[in-house]
């Protein structure tokens, strides 16, 4: 298992959290957050060995000019007071044009993440301090914190006032902020998934995640119970009919054709399912399913059929199928296309016209359409892939998953997203220009849920 803190250090150093090359807002915001919270080992030391005592880290500046004002430091035994500038690398000083801006003439300390140029000072006469080797806590926990509350003023005013801060940012800054925060949110999910992989293995983990995805909102808990009652090992190698019988039977959703009227189109199939289930039933209590308010196309019966179709399509190795697709893809576009092909499920006649064993649909409908498949890509396939990168300690492989999720369009909206938009955007219509992707939605939703759940 990878050390998560070191893994995140590799990701940050390789520019993984840069989602907008022209406006890498999140990456420097992360470093500003580290400085503001002073999650650093004391005493600090500059590149040339001078000891730095931080009496006050300064006031986080959200306007033009250096990142922190009125810092109070003692550098090499000498008190210093003034602004501090923070960058990813020393070269950013000249890239951002600070050498020509009088506002930066009085900077007393230049703080960077790394120093590949091995400079002693930057610019000349300004001490240089490198953050990376002086962190006091793992970087992954810091990334979690910035995803939750790492915005200027978030610790000082109520979250509603975040909208007043966001209105000061350009669309590109906000897009980069939410997109990178979305990546951070998916990585946090991936860490939990990697621990499950360590416990039960890749394929069982992917199977449980598929069950969770099939449960969607109302029936996630019953599908989790079903996954435990019928583990993947009991389905692997079985015929599709037996797999369907095991899942429908354990779910308590299989009607007895000798006791219930079954439509003629489904009678032979239902009888065959019952014949397979009868000698295998355990008598264990079935999950309690929620049907109130459920769309006919989202019934657990249809989701179970989709689940068995996906398992058969991946030869009962759903985890490997997803990972191989991402890892071996030639481009992010082909990756998304191939993942959609795996996760989209058509309904075979005659069940394409039914939403359970007796209920008719108004027209034939896919079991899992493209819209739902996109949800599964973002919330299942990409986090699972990141988790395996963690598990195998292959940080550089994460880039393929990142590029795939950055291609994903906006997903379906929901109540939480609509509320987040009205909380954080002035006017709310601005969100159409900012929250343009699934990844930005993830970042916005993560911030909202942490503040309002």
pLDDT single digits (tens) 282-315: 888 999 999 887 888 889 999 999 999 999 999 9
* pLDDT at residue 404 greater than cutoff 90: yes
The ranges assigned to domains in the chain are 1-22+138-191+409-453, 40-134, 201-394
**Separation between Cα atoms, residue 183 and residue 57, nearest integer Å:** 28
The residues pairing with 128 across neighbouring beta strands, listed in sequence order, are 110
- The length of the chain is 453
Of residues 335, 396, 408, the one with CA closest to residue 371: 408
Query: Average pLDDT, stretch 418-434?
Result: 87
SS3 249: helix
Structure confidence at residue 56 (pLDDT): 92
* pLDDT at residue 254 greater than cutoff 80: yes
Structure confidence at residue 160 (pLDDT): 58
* pLDDT at residue 158 greater than cutoff 70: no
**Separation between Cα atoms, residue 45 and residue 30, nearest integer Å:** 20
Structure confidence at residue 217 (pLDDT): 80
Mean pLDDT of the chain: 90
* pLDDT at residue 246 greater than cutoff 50: yes
Q: Which two tokens stand for residue 433?
A: 């220009």
Query: Average pLDDT, stretch 65-91?
Result: 94
Residue 363 has φ and ψ, to the nearest 5°, of -155, 155
Largest CA distance in the chain: 91
**Percent of the chain residues topping a pLDDT of 70:** 96
Which of 106-120, 154-168, 180-194, 403-417 is predicted with the least confidence, judged by mean pLDDT? 154-168
* pLDDT at residue 171 greater than cutoff 80: yes
Confidence of residue 156 (pLDDT cuts 50, 70, 90): very low
Residue 279's CB is within 10 A of a number of other CB atoms, namely 6
**Separation between Cα atoms, residue 24 and residue 26, nearest integer Å:** 6
Structure confidence at residue 1 (pLDDT): 63
Of residues 12, 57, 51, the one with CA closest to residue 129: 51
Structure confidence at residue 142 (pLDDT): 86
Confidence of residue 157 (pLDDT cuts 50, 70, 90): very low
Residue 112 has φ and ψ, to the nearest 5°, of -135, 165
Structure confidence at residue 149 (pLDDT): 52
Of residues 136, 132, 146, 171, the one with CA closest to residue 47: 132
Confidence of residue 28 (pLDDT cuts 50, 70, 90): confident
Confidence of residue 325 (pLDDT cuts 50, 70, 90): very high
The residues pairing with 114 across neighbouring beta strands, listed in sequence order, are none
Structure confidence at residue 151 (pLDDT): 56
SS3 124: coil
Structure confidence at residue 435 (pLDDT): 93
Which strand (E) or helix (H) includes residue 82? Answer: strand 78-87
CA contacts within 13 A on the Cβ side of 179: 28
The DSSP call for residue 357 is: S
């Amino acid at each position: 298992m990878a050390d998560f803190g070191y893994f995140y250090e590799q990701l940050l150093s390789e520019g993984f959290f840069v989602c907008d090359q022209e406006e890498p807002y999140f990456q420097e915001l992360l470093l500003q957050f580290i400085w503001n919270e002073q999650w650093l080992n004391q005493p600090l030391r500059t590149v040339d060995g001078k000891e730095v005592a931080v009496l006050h880290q300064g006031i986080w500046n959200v306007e033009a000019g250096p990142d922190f004002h009125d810092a109070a430091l003692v550098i090499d035994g000498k008190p210093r007071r003034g602004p501090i500038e923070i960058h990813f690398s020393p070269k950013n000083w000249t890239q951002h044009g600070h050498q020509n801006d009088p506002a930066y003439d009085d900077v007393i300390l230049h703080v960077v993440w790394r120093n590949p140029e091995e400079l002693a000072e930057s610019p000349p006469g300004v001490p240089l301090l490198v953050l990376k080797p002086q962190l006091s806590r793992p970087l992954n926990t810091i990334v979690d914190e910035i995803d939750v509350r790492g915005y200027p003023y978030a610790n000082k005013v109520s979250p509603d006032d975040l909208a007043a801060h966001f209105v000061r940012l350009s669309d590109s800054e906000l897009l980069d902020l939410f997109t990178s925060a979305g990546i951070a949110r998916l990585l946090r999910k991936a860490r939990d998934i990697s621990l499950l992989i360590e416990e039960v293995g890749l394929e069982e983990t992917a199977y449980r995640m598929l069950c969770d995805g099939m449960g969607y909102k109302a029936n996630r808990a019953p599908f989790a119970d079903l996954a435990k009652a019928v583990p993947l090992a009991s389905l692997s190698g079985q015929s599709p009919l037996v797999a369907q019988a095991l899942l429908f039977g354990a779910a308590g959703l299989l009607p007895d054709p000798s006791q219930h009227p079954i439509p003629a189109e489904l009678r032979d199939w239902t009888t065959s399912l019952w014949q397979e289930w009868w000698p295998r039933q355990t008598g264990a209590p079935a999950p309690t399913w929620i049907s109130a308010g459920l769309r006919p196309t989202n019934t657990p019966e249809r989701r179970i059929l989709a689940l068995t179709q996906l398992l058969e399509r991946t030869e009962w190795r759903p985890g490997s199928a997803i990972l191989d697709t991402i890892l071996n893809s030639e481009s992010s576009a082909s990756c998304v296309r191939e993942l959609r092909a795996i996760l989209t499920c058509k309904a075979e006649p005659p069940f394409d016209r039914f939403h359970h064993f007796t209920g008719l649909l108004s027209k034939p409908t896919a079991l899992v359409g493209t819209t739902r498949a996109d949800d599964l890509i973002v919330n299942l396939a990409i986090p699972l892939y990141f988790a395996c990168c963690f598990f195998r300690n292959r940080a550089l492989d994460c880039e393929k998953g990142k590029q795939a999720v950055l291609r994903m369009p906006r997903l379906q909206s929901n109540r939480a997203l609509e509320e987040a938009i009205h909380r954080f955007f002035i006017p709310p219509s601005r969100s159409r220009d900012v929250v343009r992707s699934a990844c930005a939605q993830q970042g916005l939703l993560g911030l909202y849920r942490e503040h309002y759940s």
